[in-house]
Every structure is written in C-alpha cells, then in structure tokens.
Structure 1
Amino acid sequence: MCGIVACYTSSPEAITSDVVAAGRTMLTRLAHRGPDDTGQARVGAQAWLGHNRLSIVGPANGRQPLGDPGPWSLVCNGEIYNDADLRESLPGHDFTTASDSESALALLNGRGPWAFDRLEGMWALCAATPDGRFVAARDRLGIKPLYWAEIGGLHYFASEMRAFPVDVQHAVAMFPPGCWWTPADGLVRFATAVTAAPTQDGFTAAELEKRTRDVLVDSVRRHLMADVEVGVFLSGGLDSSIVAAVAAAEYTREGRRLKTFAVGVDGSADLLAARDVAAFLGTDHYETVFDADRAVAALDDVVASVESFDAGLIRSAVPNWFLAELASQHVKAVLTGEGADELFAGYGYYHELHRDPAALRRELRRTIELLHGLNLQRCDRVTMAHGLEARVPFLDARVVDHAMSLPDTVKSLEADGLEKGHLRRAFTGWLPERLLWRPKLEFGTGSGAADLLTPYWNQRIGDAELTEDPATGLRSKEELAYYRAFRRALPEVRPDAVLTRFAVA
C-alpha cells in the first residue's frame, strides 16, 4: 500500500522545475501512506512520477517507480491478488522484482490499458513513457483512491486531496473507478462495479450456501497474501467475524496465531462481542477504548484524513481511527468486513423500502457503486493515516460477481426474519450460533461513537448556527461541526466534489 503522485503536461514543452518541486511537495504530504521508502522519476520531458511505499509484498526489491523492461514507468497504490497467475500468463515480460505491481506494468507494456480489466485487487496507478504517453487508472470499485486536477494543460494526480497545492484544490475531482485516462483517448471505462452475471437459478439453498462459503474462503485466503503479518479488524458482528474465522483457520494451519483488534467505548456491544469471537477462535486479541474527550480531540485529524464531512461517515471513522492506531503497532495490514452489507442486504432500510426483489437488487447495485466515496474512502484514509493497509475480501471481484448473481429471494427476510440469513447459514459451524445470529449493529452504534458524538454537538451548536451557515445541504449540527473541520483542512476544495450521499432511494 502506498501513496502516489504524478504530474503530466499535454504541452510538448518540458515539465518545469517548479512543477517537479510541486510534485515533491505533494509526495511529502502523503508520507503517512508510505513510511518505508520514497521514489521519484522524471519520465521523458512531459511527466514526473512519485511514490511513497508501505512494503507489504516484495519488500526487498519492489521500489517504485517501476521501469525496466519496456517503455512504461509506473507507480501503483494497492495490491494485485492475481499477480502469480498474471506472471504465468505473461511469459514475454522479464520480471525483475517480487512486487505484485509489476504484473500491472507487464500488462501495460504488452497489451495496453485495455488489459487493466484483468487486474484483480485494489489499485490505482499512473504510468508514463519517455515519448510523452501517459495513463492513469483505478480499480473497478474504487477501493483505492485517486484524485486529479487540470490547470492550463498541466495535469496533477494524487492518492489524497490534501496532497494538491492549495491553488489547485478548487479544480480537484475524484478519478472515477473502473476507468483509465490517456491524453489521446480521454476517459475510457474498462469495467463496472457490478457485472451482468447470469442469475444462479436452479440450485438448492444448500448448494448456493456452499458456493458463497467457497468463494469467500478463497477470497480471504488470497487477501492474506503478504510478506508481513496480516491481522483482522473484529467488531464482533457477522461480517468481520466470518473474515476472522477463515483467517484464523488459515493461520492455524500454518502454525501461526491470528491477531485481531477491536474498539469501542467502555462496555460497548462491539467490544463485548469481539471478545467472545476472539476467545472462540483463539486469536491474539487487542482492544482500545475511547471516550468523548478522546473522540473530540481526534476529530480534526479524522476529518482531515477522511476528506469528507458526512456525519455518518465521520461518526464511524472516529472509532476506526483509534482501531487503526492500535493495529499499526502490531501489524502492517488488516482484513475488514467492508462490503458485506451491500452485497447481502444487511441494512434494515433495504427490506423496509424495497420489498420487491427486483427493486432490492437495483438498490444493492446503487449502493455498491457509491462505496468508493463512502465506506471505502473512510476505510482507506483512517488506516493509511497510520501507515496501515486495509484489505476488503468481501469486495473481491469474484465475491461481488457471485453475490450479485444470487437469486433475488436469497437476500429477503422471509426465510429467517433476520438480515443476511443466507450468509449466516453459509458459515454454520464456523462460529457459535449466538455469534452467527447476532443482530446487526452499525459500527458507529455498536462501538458507542454515535451516543457520544451526536449529543455532544447538539449541545454545543445553536439552531441559528445551522441555518445561517453558508454551506448547503448540511443535515445536522453534528455535520456542521465536521464541515467546519473539513474547511480548516481543505480550504479550497469544493464540497460538491467530495461529498457522496448514501441517500435512501
């Protein structure tokens, strides 16, 4: 996991020393994303690439920008989980490093950007050639971030908005997931968040549950790919508990003990449930506790890192911040349960407002397509702020395609009266029944953050402040507090360029 920066000029005139200096300053602002190493290179006359590295795979020889062999030089943020398969299928490329990012370079050298749809994982990249070609691209779900801006023919790219020069921030926009961009072709979509896979009709419930279990077990195993130790964020809820159960089984098979991490206010539901799960799985379990004073003291840092002021997002980011801080003291990468609710209809409103199976399917697809600006943005930022990599096995391409091809009736409440019954039954025996069938609590609620933060700001911000504030669309006093922190961190970024509303539709 890393932080990347790129500068490209569409003019035949060379990039100036001032632009290179700006790129280096941008790279410095992303030092938290890659504390292990930094690299940079001017590529020809029109491009400059920069990279801060968190060494997870191929730590000995994976320094970027990657170049030889071939004309392209590349910087990449993320993990390519089918790297081994790609290496076997690309015999014409003389691989010189153990870095999984080199498989992306090999694809680009051999087949061009249209081949990016073969990359399985979470990634964002920029690449350039000495003769003036350039490409930027991002994975189909937007698991890894990328932003861009263009001022007078000069293009800037970076992993976070706060990297951009202040006089460029007004032009910053989110680079769209599943797309690549070149100066010649413009923005081109190479993949969608959800593919149109045929529905798996004709299978029994037991057969579908086995398919779900098999694809998830395979994903967790592949997401454990690393040359460093990987832990698990464990809330005690269904999704993270399943991830922990599979990872713990894999580590036990290898003669290792999994590390799990939990957060909450003292006595919160998540802390108690996580202890129960960890005890059952036999993990090395770590906890961190926060209170209102600690939460409020961290807010400016949290908002600056998440780069949003959505109240629900920040409310869940606060406990995530402390959780990442704790985990970073013990491991360099963690698995999380992100994405399971969107794939398997875990939120209550799905079933309250979308009782028709076809309508539910449309709503699930819509929310999956929005994840890159919401939960995935929070997940990436709070972990990378502490030099920690977060991986999301539920959002692996194979898992997404399988889950979205399940018959619509599988995700309804009719069979069990509790959300995600199919997923729960698929992992029968992996967890005790009391844990497997624990009702869902959203992270901000289960950790206790909502009970601390919402009342805190309701007491400290007057009604007139909310109505008189020039910002539009603010929904609460709590969100106004986060908006003010956002403005302190990113004074020139347009709010409409960063705020994704997970509105009930």
Structure 2
Amino acid sequence: MCGIVAAVGNIDTDKCQRMLHRIKHRGPDDTGEIRRGNVWLGHQRLSIMDVEGGHQPLTDSGATTYLVANGEIYNHRHIREDLGHELFETGSDSEAALHALIIDGPVGLARLRGMFALAFATEEGDFLAARDPLGVKPLYWARRDDVILFASELRAFDEADRPLVESFPPGHCWSPSGGLVRFADAIPAHVRPARRAEEAGVWDRTLVKAVRESIVTAVENRMMSDVGVGVFLSGGLDSAIVAAVAAEYAAKNGQSLPTFAVGAEGSSDLEAARVVAEFLDAQHHNIEHHEILMSPQDAVDALPRAVTAIEHYDPSLVRSAVPNLLLAEYASKRVHAVLTGEGADELFAGYPYYHEEPFTDPDALQAELVRTVGELHHLNLQRCDRASMAFGLEAREPFLDRDVVELALSIPPEHKMIGPGIEEKKLLREAFEGWLPDSILHRGKEQFGDGSGAKEVLEAAVRNSPDVAAAEGVELRTREEAGFYAIWDRELRGIRPEATLGLFATT
C-alpha cells in the first residue's frame, strides 16, 4: 500500500516532488522517483510485501520499463507461474503488474485481480495509468494543455491545478496514444441474477456453501503479508464474519490475530466487538483484542482531521470517519494492514432503505444494488482508504473480491428481500451459522457512526456553524453538512466538489 504521483508532458520536477511529499503519510517507509524524458514517476511506500526488495519504481532486468503502484495484486503468484518465475527479481506483488504490462501491453491489466492504481512507463517515453475496476484504490488526474498529472489523493495537487482535478474512472486506463479506454467493468456484463423468484424458490445448501466458500477464499487471499494483518471489528455482522474467517486462517498458520474496536464508553459497537473477540478466542486461542475508548472530546478534536483525511463532507461518511480515524491511528502502531467489512451491505441488501419503496420490486432492488456497488469508490471506499492511509495503514475489503461480487450479484434479488421471519442479509447469516455467537449473527444493522457513539457528538459540534457559501451546484442539506463542508472547503481550497463526489464526465 502506497501513494503514487505521475506526470507526462512538460515535466516540472519540483512540482512533482511537492505533490509526492504531500502524500508521504500513505507510504512513510520509503520514497522513490524517476524521470525518463517527458515522464515522471514517484512513489511513497508502505512496506508490506518483500520489505527488503520491493522498492519502487520497479524496473525490469534491462531497466527499460518502470512501474509505480498503490494496492495489492492478490493473484501475483499465479501470474508469476503463468509468465515464468525467471522474469521476476523481487517478491513484490506489484512486480506481477509490471511484467503483465511488459508482455501483454494494456491487455495485461485483465490479468490483475486485486485493488490497484498504477502508472507504467518505458525508456522510449510510452506511458500508461490505470485503476482497478471497482476503484478500491484512489487515483486523481488534472489535465493541462502541456502536462497530465496523476496522484493518489486530492491534497497532492498544487492549488493552481486543483480546479482541473477529476476522479480517474475505475476500470479505465489512459495513455497519450490511446486516450481513455475502459478495460473492465465494475460489474461484469455477464453478471445477472441466475433465475427469477418463481424458478429459484428457497435457496438451497449449494448456494449457501458457495457464498461461504467465496468469502472464505477472499479473506484468506487478503491475509497475504510479510508484516502481519489485523481486523477492524465493529461488532456488526460483516466485520464479525471477516474476523471469524481470519481467526480460522491465523490459527491454522500458527499466528495470532489482532482485532481493533472503537467506540464511546458503553457503546453498542464496543460491547458487540468484545462478544465476538471472546467467542473467537475461546475457539482458536489466538485473538489479541484491542479497544479504543472515544470520549466526546476525542471525537470533536478528530473532526477536522477526519474531514481533511477523507477529502469528503458527506455527513454519513464523516460520522464514520471520526471513529475510523482514531481506530487507524491506534492500529497503525501495531499492524501494517487490516481487513474490513466494506461492501457486504451493498451486495446483500443490508441497508434499511433497500427494503422500502421502490426497491420492494426485485428488478428495482437489483438495479439499486448494482448502482451502489459501482459508486462505492467515491463513498465508503474513499472514507475507508483515506482514514486508514492517513497513518500508513492498508485497508483490505474481502467482500469486494471480484468472485464475491460476481456471485453475490448473480443471486436472485428475491433472496435478499425481507419478509415475515426473514431478516436482511439472511443468506449471509445462514452461510456463517456456527461461526459466530447467535447474538451477533442476528444483530440488526447499525451505522458505524451510530454504533460507535460518534453521531450525536458530531451533530452537536457543528450545530451552531455559521452560514457557508457553497460552491455553485452544491446543495448543503443540513446544518451538520454545512459545518463539515466549511472544514472541507478550508482544507482543500480550490478543489471542486465534483472531484470528491465523482460527478465528472470520464471522456
């Protein structure tokens, strides 16, 4: 996990270095840069895979191609076997992306399974930038007449360039010769519900088993690390499932599993997380559970940092970001990577509004699930990435594994609808019966900002915020949102809200 900066065109090295320095928090372990002709690549590294040998920019044995990458390529071992181990000089998973692009060109992006934003260059001046299909890892760009600039975060850009900054679209690559090209859809075109309700009936054990196995595999793949992995444990169903699978994996490999929970004293999240940790520890004897108590003053003090870190002012994201930031600050001193439960609600219809009109119609529900999964990159994923990377901590989201996404969205939407005796995410709960205590397996949905106790404190903190002149086209819906926007506007002066909200056109 890292931060990247790239430029192609009329290079201003000082500007590029300034941009890289502004995202040093994303990779505090190492800094690397290289210029070749009209291309500049920069990298801030958080050392997780091949700590000693994974310095970036990566290059091939002939030093004719270069790559900087942010993220993880989870199938890098398979790519090594397919392309030939003799090509590889490091144990870095990012080197798989380098050789895939050397051998196949942009088509090589299709080989990569994981979360990534990358920039690739050759000695001859060729250049390519790309972002993973779901946009799990961030990438922004600013297109000037004489230079194109890329960076992992909005704050990286000079104020003069900020009005031009846009979110680089997920599943796309860009090169000077080919322009912007889609190489993968967030939701593959072939993913459609397998059968209608009248044909599907009640799900069978085969489907339950498939859901469980896909999630187990996704979690195990994300335990990949040379420096240890923990779990953010809110006590909700999704993070508890991740923790249960990770604990099983850690026990089989003779490892302990650190889990981290945050909340106000007596908050429901802290209590539920403690129940999960004690249950798993009794089964596996390998849980190291950590609780971070958040006082009202802690939440208020963290608010400006949280808004600045997540580069967003949406109230639901900010409420979640404050405890998330405190959790990341603590966890980063103990592990380099954590697993989270992001994505499960969007895949299995966990939010209450999914079960209200007009989404009581199966086709409408399916369309909304597909839409919200596709928009995660500028909402919950943006909050999750920035809050953790503010302290050089990598967050990994097993539920957003491509196989899990494809399976979940191929399930008839009728199987995700509630009814008499049928709670939300029943299929997911059934898949992990016996893995968790019943009280957690059937715990109702509670937003992170609510369960941690942050919501009321933050609403009060900005209740008397002064009126704010919002940018054109920005509608501030509540006094709370106006207060968060004022912080955002002060800290990210010059950035257009569209860059945060993902509303720019992609052509």
TM-score bracket for the superposition, by shorter chain length: over 0.9
**How far, CA to CA, are the matches of 2:338 and 2:95 in structure 1?**
23
**How far, CA to CA, are the matches of 1:179 and 1:318 in structure 2?**
31
Mapping of 1:97-112 within 5 angstroms?
Answer: 97-112=90-105
The residue type paired with residue 171 of structure 2 is: G
Residue 165 of structure 1, CA deviation: 1.0
Further displaced range: 330-339 or 306-315: 306-315
1:243-291, CA deviations, whole angstroms, 9 ceiling, x for partnerless residues?
0000001111112221100001111100000000000011111011112
The residue type paired with residue 452 of structure 2 is: S
SS of equivalent residue, structure 1 residue 112: helix
**Hey, what does 1:336 align to over in structure 2?**
340
Are 2:73 and 1:80 aligned?
Answer: yes
Mapping of 1:6-25 within 5 angstroms?
Answer: 6-9=6-9, 15-16=10-11, 19-25=12-18
**How far, CA to CA, are the matches of 2:445 and 2:276 in structure 1?**
15
**How far, CA to CA, are the matches of 1:434 and 1:314 in structure 2?**
28
CA RMSD of aligned residues (A): 1.6
Q: Which residue of the other structure, out of 424, 429, 439, is the alignment partner of 2:429?
A: 424
The residue type paired with residue 310 of structure 2 is: V
For the 8 Å contact 1:69–1:93, the answer to whether it is kept is no
Q: TM-score, normalised by structure 1?
A: 0.94
The residue type paired with residue 66 of structure 1 is: L
**How far, CA to CA, are the matches of 1:498 and 1:259 in structure 2?**
32
Change (3 A) 1:105 1:281: same
**Hey, what does 2:496 align to over in structure 1?**
494
Residue 470 of structure 1, CA deviation: 5.8
For the 8 Å contact 2:167–2:502, the answer to whether it is kept is no
**How far, CA to CA, are the matches of 1:490 and 1:204 in structure 2?**
49
**Hey, what does 1:382 align to over in structure 2?**
387
SS of equivalent residue, structure 1 residue 166: coil
**How far, CA to CA, are the matches of 1:470 and 1:493 in structure 2?**
10
Are 2:316 and 1:315 aligned?
Answer: no
For the 8 Å contact 1:310–1:482, the answer to whether it is kept is yes
For the 8 Å contact 1:93–1:106, the answer to whether it is kept is no
Unaligned runs of 5+ in 1: 10-14
**Hey, what does 1:207 align to over in structure 2?**
206
For the 8 Å contact 2:135–2:171, the answer to whether it is kept is yes
**How far, CA to CA, are the matches of 2:361 and 2:61 in structure 1?**
54
Query: Identity percentage over the alignment?
Result: 51
**Hey, what does 2:284 align to over in structure 1?**
none
Residue 115 of structure 1, CA deviation: 2.0
**How far, CA to CA, are the matches of 1:461 and 1:97 in structure 2?**
52
For the 8 Å contact 1:72–1:108, the answer to whether it is kept is no
**Hey, what does 1:121 align to over in structure 2?**
114
For the 8 Å contact 2:166–2:498, the answer to whether it is kept is no
For the 8 Å contact 2:192–2:409, the answer to whether it is kept is no
Residue 153 of structure 1, CA deviation: 2.1
SS of equivalent residue, structure 2 residue 477: coil
Mapping of 1:300-449 within 5 angstroms?
Answer: 300-353=304-357, 354-414=359-419, 416-449=421-454
Change (3 A) 1:365 1:93: farther
**Hey, what does 2:134 align to over in structure 1?**
141
Residue 296 of structure 1, CA deviation: 1.7
Residue 418 of structure 1, CA deviation: 1.4
Residue 226 of structure 1, CA deviation: 0.7
SS of equivalent residue, structure 2 residue 342: coil
**How far, CA to CA, are the matches of 1:92 and 1:217 in structure 2?**
28
For the 8 Å contact 2:139–2:168, the answer to whether it is kept is yes
SS of equivalent residue, structure 1 residue 236: coil
**How far, CA to CA, are the matches of 2:40 and 2:153 in structure 1?**
17
**How far, CA to CA, are the matches of 1:285 and 1:315 in structure 2?**
23
**Hey, what does 1:477 align to over in structure 2?**
479
Count of aligned residue pairs for this structure pair: 489
Residue 198 of structure 1, CA deviation: 5.0
Are 2:151 and 1:158 aligned?
Answer: yes
Residue 93 of structure 1, CA deviation: 6.2
**How far, CA to CA, are the matches of 1:358 and 1:306 in structure 2?**
33
**How far, CA to CA, are the matches of 2:421 and 2:44 in structure 1?**
48
**How far, CA to CA, are the matches of 1:308 and 1:193 in structure 2?**
22
**Hey, what does 2:47 align to over in structure 1?**
55
**How far, CA to CA, are the matches of 1:401 and 1:288 in structure 2?**
35
SS of equivalent residue, structure 1 residue 274: helix
**How far, CA to CA, are the matches of 1:204 and 1:152 in structure 2?**
56
The residue type paired with residue 246 of structure 2 is: A
**Hey, what does 1:65 align to over in structure 2?**
57
**How far, CA to CA, are the matches of 2:28 and 2:362 in structure 1?**
47
Q: TM-score, normalised by structure 2?
A: 0.94
Are 2:295 and 1:295 aligned?
Answer: no
**How far, CA to CA, are the matches of 1:50 and 1:456 in structure 2?**
39
Residue 87 of structure 1, CA deviation: 0.6
Mapping of 1:161-240 within 5 angstroms?
Answer: 161-195=154-188, 196-197=190-191, 199-201=193-195, 204-240=203-239
The residue type paired with residue 430 of structure 2 is: R
SS of equivalent residue, structure 1 residue 438: coil
**How far, CA to CA, are the matches of 1:497 and 1:233 in structure 2?**
28
For the 8 Å contact 2:203–2:415, the answer to whether it is kept is no
**How far, CA to CA, are the matches of 1:500 and 1:272 in structure 2?**
36
For the 8 Å contact 2:323–2:454, the answer to whether it is kept is yes
The residue type paired with residue 116 of structure 1 is: L
For the 8 Å contact 1:40–1:51, the answer to whether it is kept is yes
1:195-249, CA deviations, whole angstroms, 9 ceiling, x for partnerless residues?
1235444694211000000000011000001111100000000000000000001
SS of equivalent residue, structure 2 residue 8: strand
Residue 91 of structure 1, CA deviation: 2.1
